[in-house]
Structure 1
């Protein structure tokens, strides 16, 4: 973070930790402090490989931001919601369905959850090219800090994870990094998001689901851990489990893009957001995420030059028809435009199904 005098930012006070004894997922930990040596990366590559083959999620620590720097980013993340009025937010809202791109605000009540209930989360999205679009007045003095944070997420967090996963495929470390270069114009994005409490009637109609179970569609998602328990992942045993908060840690998962490139060797795990436990109800849930995308022209088909994939073979039924695989740009636009807006076929056990550009997409209610 720059050493210059920082702009004043109002402090955001998060909810206290939950008091309930929740069924937390037992996720492995990636210690970036070990990634500086070949021996350390070899050790971490095994952890990352095994985790992304099964649970699809890991914690990460020693990621390069101090607790104070992370707290500052959460304070900044709250500004688009509490320091910008409704009229100005409308000026910076993105046309998500038409463009298939997250830029600017997604307003509350934009997505349909179920039984006529709309979502109650609002988010603000920023491209790595922070000057691509203008930002609300309250954010403008903070753009240099946001710019540095985005670069840190991409170069110092996503790229090291991609190197570990490339090793898991028995490929050169830079194989996946070269498909997701920071200096290339791209559609990765930093997201500040705020969930607001809902009425009991809405909770009843949605079975307490705030965001349907889904896979992310990019390559790597970085979530900066926060204390409100609401994120759940679908375990290999087909059981929903909570993700625990670890102070100044990251929660990292992979999306469709890496599942497709690895032929299903790595899994894009289903996850969802639900109503927090009773001790945390009534609080807002502020999130800081970085959604990393492969470069637009990367074709989402298996990297068959991988020795691991040659031995293991294709391990997913979600791949599009051979020869008709979409690019990252096509898949991203289809998933972005359709989420919460398209009509999916009703499947079994509350799982809705649709096919987008030949890719099977499931929504877990």
Structure 2
């Protein structure tokens, strides 16, 4: 199966078509696109804000490095390795994690994010992403012919750990240390329930691992669609019926893309404790 043409769930299409596509996705890749999601304007504004932060001098960004295990705050280039099977691998990216609890304590955020207009943008983005996840959970419950609230009731808005976003910046290759152990994001599966991935400027690099062929396949970067994937929680809950698939972000072979940054935003939806 080609992952460059993931199944597409058009939210304006017939509900039966949506459920059928979800069923196909669950049993194969666990990855799909969502179109007509209504977040186009919001995601564009979020990317503009993210760029403004990542283009700050490093010493300013380091003021917001998290000193706890809460996964909040700034992560500098080379400090994260998502591939648990290769301890020598280094992720050539920087990131900023914003958890739902930050919405109640914006004093812990950089000025760019805590500025009133931008903070409202973040709140709105959080809420609409959450609502989209709940919408998909309802369709998923209908697909498996169980109570419609079965999954939504396990992902309450006000319950920890809740939801979070990760702003991601993959710098041009010439701006990171050059060695064979650098990758943009190491191979991993997501530990939560559902991930929404927003991509920007059609910058590619995401690859998904196919268990059947034992091969990696590229996923086309689409500005107009969200890439959605199920996490380990759903594979566990469904006893393997719903797939949580390993994925990574590789360094580009295209010289033009090597000289440009890649930006993405991941929204993570986790079940309540």
Fold shared per TM-score above 0.5 = yes
**CA 1:90 to 1:203, structure 2 compared with 1: closer, same or farther past 3 Å?**
closer
Gaps of 5+ in 1: 1-22, 35-39, 297-365
Q: In structure 1, what is the Cα distance between the partners aligned to 2:87 and 2:48?
A: 35
One of 144, 150, 158 as aligned partner of 1:175: 150
Per-residue deviation, 1:205: 1.4
Per-residue deviation, 1:104: 1.0
| Deviation sequence 1:19-48 (CA, Å, 0-9, x none) | xxxx753211011123xxxxx333211211
Between structure 1 and structure 2, the one with the greater Rg is 1
Q: CA RMSD in A?
A: 2.3
The corresponding residue for 2:264 is 287
One of 243, 250, 253 as aligned partner of 2:226: 250
**CA 1:261 to 1:24, structure 2 compared with 1: closer, same or farther past 3 Å?**
closer
Gaps of 5+ in 2: none
Per-residue deviation, 1:127: 1.5
> Please, what TM-score do these two structures have when normalized by structure 1?
0.66
Per-residue deviation, 1:210: 2.5
| Deviation sequence 1:230-277 (CA, Å, 0-9, x none) | 100012422211111223210000100111111111010110110113
Per-residue deviation, 1:221: 0.3
One of 12, 31, 35 as aligned partner of 1:33: 12
Per-residue deviation, 1:109: 1.5
Per-residue deviation, 1:76: 1.4
| Deviation sequence 1:161-212 (CA, Å, 0-9, x none) | 1112222322112110110011334342111110123359966513x63222
1:64 paired to 2:41: no
| Deviation sequence 1:139-161 (CA, Å, 0-9, x none) | 22211111011000001x11111
**CA 1:170 to 1:213, structure 2 compared with 1: closer, same or farther past 3 Å?**
same
Q: In structure 1, what is the Cα distance between the partners aligned to 2:177 and 2:244?
A: 29
* SS of match in other structure, 2:25: helix
Q: Check whether the contact 2:91–2:183 (CA below 8 A) recurs between aligned residues.
A: no
* SS of match in other structure, 1:25: helix
In the comparison of the two structures, how many residue pairs are matched? 262
**CA 1:160 to 1:111, structure 2 compared with 1: closer, same or farther past 3 Å?**
same
Q: Check whether the contact 1:27–1:57 (CA below 8 A) recurs between aligned residues.
A: yes
Q: In structure 2, what is the Cα distance between the partners aligned to 1:127 and 1:62?
A: 26
> Please, what TM-score do these two structures have when normalized by structure 2?
0.87
**What does 1:342-361 align with in structure 2 at a 5 Å threshold?**
none
**CA 1:41 to 1:164, structure 2 compared with 1: closer, same or farther past 3 Å?**
same
**CA 1:276 to 1:24, structure 2 compared with 1: closer, same or farther past 3 Å?**
farther
One of 143, 165, 168 as aligned partner of 1:190: 165
